[in-house]
Amino acid sequence: MNEQKIDTAMVLAAGFGKRLRPITDKIPKPLVEVGGRTMLDRALDTLVESKISRAVINVHYLGEQITTHCKTRDDIKCIISDESDAILETGGGTVRALPLLGNRPFALLNADTFWIDHGTPTLQRMIDAFDESTMDILLLLCRAADATGHSGGYDFTMASDGKLARAKNSDGDGYIYAGAAIYNPSVFDPGRKEPHSLNVYFDQAIARDRLSGIILEDGHWITVGTPQGLAEAEAKLRELG
């Protein structure tokens, strides 16, 4: 397909970042710098690299700082989805943003995780791989060996055709959800306005056999949860050069 398949993205930036205190007492987590660049800018850079022109960014905690920061970007249109009245979690925040996201498939990134590509841009691989005829959601996954800062177990297992199932335990073979996805907006109920997690939609897509995954190849994924995790992320970026 010659036209850009996906031109809009949701960036989740409303959280409190409590585990990163005291750093996040006065600055929202997406604006914390890692390797001299804010995590939000790293997310927006990823979108620009894959020719996504619109980013819908939800805000709650210290949201005015994020809104102000977005005005410094002239390479992507930043649209604020305001949750200052009540934080809605990942699912509720995405539902509130649906009128801004439109009726075409869109990308979604967490503003507090990012990855470093050494080859073909991973988000572009995801865009190229997304197939509306067989997928409702496509998730980016990574191997534990390619992750820094992850303290949990595995999230999903993958079949030979790319279909995903929940990992049954943290010790077996599996993959980590890397905080990036492509969604068909039809999976969301616009009337579901209460706070809820995107995990609801993962499980519904699994039940329909329409949750697929793509693995981070030739790259490294970083999540920053704590001050120690921030130091580990800085060290890994220096190592990666």
pTM value > 0.85: yes
How is domain 8-240 classified at the CATH fold level? Spore Coat Polysaccharide Biosynthesis Protein SpsA; Chain A (3.90.550)
For residue 200, is pLDDT > 90? Answer: yes
pLDDT of residue 1: 39
- C-alpha to C-alpha distance for 85 and 217, rounded to whole angstroms: 40
Domain ranges of the chain: 8-240
- C-alpha to C-alpha distance for 115 and 222, rounded to whole angstroms: 6
For residue 137, is pLDDT > 70? Answer: yes
- Residue 176 near residue 216 (C-beta atoms within 8 A): no
CB neighbours (10 Å) of residue 104? 12
* pLDDT tens readout for residues 103-124: 999 999 999 999 999 988 999 9
The mean pLDDT of 56-70, rounded to a whole number, is 96
For residue 102, is pLDDT > 80? Answer: yes
Res. 172 pLDDT band, cuts 50 70 90? low
Q: How far is CA 78 from the centre of its chain?
A: 16
- Residue 235 near residue 197 (C-beta atoms within 8 A): no
The mean pLDDT of 72-78, rounded to a whole number, is 96
Which of 86-90, 102-106, 141-145, 168-172 is the least confident region? Answer: 168-172
Q: What is the DSSP string of 93-139?
A: HHHHHHHHH-SS-EEEEETTEEEEESSS-HHHHHHHH--TTT-SEEE
pLDDT of residue 5: 85
* pLDDT tens readout for residues 173-184: 799 999 999 999
Average pLDDT, the chain: 93
